[in-house]
Amino acid sequence: MNELKRQHIAAILIQSTKGVWQIAVPFAIVALLQQMLFYFFIALCALIVISAVFSWLSWFKFRYRLEAGELYVERGVFIKKKRYIQKKRVQAIHISAGLWQRVFGLVKVSIDTAGGGMEAEAEFVAVTRAEAVRIRAELLKEVKETDSSQNDGELNEAQNDIETEAETETKPLAVWHLGTRRLIYAALTSSGIGLVLSAVAALLSQVGQFLSFIPDDIYENTFDYIFSLGLFLLLILVVAVLLLSWIISSVLTILTYGNFKVSTYEKEMVIERGLIEKRQLTLAYRRITAVRIIKSIIRQPFGFVSVYVESAGGGTNKEQGSTMLVPLIHERDLPAFLEQTLPEYVFERPIKTAPKRAAIRFFLRMLIVPVVATCVASYFFGAIGLIGGTVVVAIAALFAWLQYRDAGAGSNDTFIWLRSRTIGQTLVISPKQKVQSVTKRVSFLQRRSKLAHFEIFVQSSLAGKSFYVPNVSDENADALFQWYSHQSD
C-alpha cells in the first residue's frame, strides 16, 4: 500500500500521440497552404522524438500512492511537485475510456476536489480498470475517523456525497436507455450545427489557397463558368454547406451520445455514454441543485426536449458546467422518466406569465437593432436591402412574441421554477434549500410599468450559475422574493 506506483507504460504512447496530434495538425495545414511539406515532415520527425522522450520522462516521474485517508502524487520533469489529496475533499471521480485507452484495455481516471475548479485535481491517463476501481473505492469509502476541521457545512455535505457514492449497489433499481430511435432524432435535430457551420465556413475560406496549384488558363476558364452561373450557384453552395454541416453535426452527436443510459440506484444515478470514448459519471441525488428542461427551436415543434441537471460537482466544460441527464425525450415521456430518476421533480408547475403590459418591452428590445439596420440597408442597397431587412425584422418580431409568451415563474412550498427564452425555451426547477440567493431587479422604466426581473442563483459544478426571467409583474416578483426570504426552520 505504501509503495509508490506508476501508470501503465502505455501512458507514454497515449501522451506522446496526443501531444503530436495537437501540434502537428495546425502546422500541417499551414505547411500545405504554404507548400512547405518537406520542411514539415522534417519537423514532424523531430517533434515525434521530442514528444516521446518528454512523455517517457513524464511517465517515469509520475508516481502515486494510496495511503489511509489520502492520495499522494508526485510528478514533474523539470520542477518536481508533490500533492496530497485527502478523501474528504474529493467531490467526484470520473472513469472514461478513449480510443487509445480502449486499444490497450485501460481507462482514464480524473479526480475532482472541493475548490479545484473545472480542471481535475489529479488525472491518471492510463491505468487498468481494476486499479481505477481500487482508486475509486479507496477515495470514496467512508472515513472512519472524523477530523475536527469538518465543522464547515459545505464540507460536511461534500463528505456525505462521498459516502453516498461509496454505497453504490451492484444491481440498479432501474435502467433507462436512450435507444436507437431517440439517438437518431437527437442527431438530426442537434443544435451543434451552428458550431460545425462556423468550422466548415472557415475551411471553405481557405479554398483559394489550394487553387494556386491549378494552371492559370484552367483556373480562369473555370472561374468564368462559375461566375456565369450567378445566383443559382450561390444557392447550391449555401445548401451544400448547410447539408455538410448538418451531416457532421449528426455524426458527432451519435458518437457522443451513443449507448447512452441512466442507471438509478437508491442514492445516486450512473450516466454512461459514448461510442468511441466511453464516459461514466456517478451523480448523487443530494448534489443536484436544479433541473433544466430545454426546448430548442428545432425540436420544440416535434415535442422533444433535452434535460440537464446542475450539481455540486460532476459538470463538464463542454456542457457549460452542467450534466446532460437525457439528450432527447418526448414531452409525453418526460414525467415517466423523471418518476424513474428524480421522482421529487414530478408535480404540477403552473406558470404565472408576464402581464400584457410587458409585451412592448420584449418587442422594443428585439426590434430596435433590426429596424435601424433595415433603414440603413434600404438606403444603401435599395429594394434588396429593404426586402432582406424586412425578413430579419419579421423573424425578430416572432422571437419577441415567443419570449413574451414564455416568460413566467411559479413556486410551491418546496420548489421554484422559472421559464424564459432566448432562442430555445428553458424551464429551470430548483428546490428551495438548494437556492443560494435570489435577486429582484427593477429599472427606472420597469418601475413605471410595475415590472421586474427575477433571478435565482444555485451551485453548479464547483462554481455557481444564475437563471432569471425578465419583465414579470412586480407582484409576482415580490411573491417569489418573499417565498425565499421567509424560509421555515
For residue range 3-36, list pLDDT tens digits in order.
889 999 998 988 888 877 777 766 666 666 566 7
150: amino acid identity, one letter: Q
Q: Please list the residues that pair with 272 across neighbouring strands.
A: 261, 280
Residue 405 lies in a domain: no
Is 445 part of a structural domain of the chain? no
Among 124, 81, 121, 77, smallest CA distance to 101 is for: 124
Band the pLDDT of 148: cuts 50, 70, 90: very low
Grid coordinates belonging to 359: 409585451
* Within-domain flag for 126: yes
Within a domain: residue 130? yes
pLDDT value for 359: 95
d(CA 371, CA 390): 8
> So what's the pLDDT on residue 30?
63
pLDDT digits (tens, 9 = 90+) for 101-130: 888 889 998 887 755 555 677 889 999 988
For the sheet containing 63-67, what is the strand order? 63-67, 70-75, 81-86
What pLDDT shows up at residue 345?
95
411 vs 485: CA distance, rounded Å: 13
Number of domains in the chain: 1
For residue 56, is it within any domain?
A: yes
- Is residue 303 in a domain? no
Q: Mean pLDDT, to the nearest integer, of 366-375? A: 93
In the chain, count H helices and then E strands. Answer: 15, 20
* Helix, strand, coil percentages for the chain (3-state, nearest 5): 50, 25, 25
- Indicate the DSSP class of residue 304: E
Mean pLDDT, the chain, whole residue set: 81
Say which range, 94-103, 168-177, 377-386, has the weakest mean pLDDT: 168-177
**Could you tell me if residue 25 is inside a domain?**
yes
Interstrand relation of 268-273 and 261-264 (parallel, antiparallel or unpaired): antiparallel
Tens-place pLDDT, residues 196-218: 555 555 555 555 555 555 555 65
> What span, in angstroms and rounded, lies between the C-alpha atoms of 479 and 328?
34
Give the range with max mean pLDDT: 262-271, 317-326, 360-369: 360-369
Q: Cα 459 from chain centroid?
A: 16
Q: What is the DSSP letter of 433?
A: G
pLDDT at 149 over 50: no
Q: How confident is the model at residue 237 (pLDDT cuts 50, 70, 90)?
A: confident
Residue with the larger pLDDT of the pair 303 and 139:
303
pLDDT (0 to 100) of residue 97: 86
Residue 314 has pLDDT above 60, yes or no: no
Rg (CA), the chain: 27
Residue 64 pLDDT greater than 80, yes or no: yes
Q: Decide: 321 and 465 in contact? Cβ < 8 Å.
A: yes
Q: Which three cell numbers stand for residue 289?
A: 441543485
pTM: 0.74
Strands 268-273 and 278-284: antiparallel
Using DSSP's 3-state secondary structure scheme, residue 260 falls into: coil
Please check the confidence at residue 144 and state whether its pLDDT lies above 60.
Answer: no
Contact by Cβ (8 Å): 481, 472: no
Cα distance between residue 62 and residue 297, in whole Å: 48
In a domain, 136, yes or no: yes
Domain that holds residue 128: 5-141
pLDDT band of residue 320 (cuts 50, 70, 90) is low
The DSSP code for 5 is: B
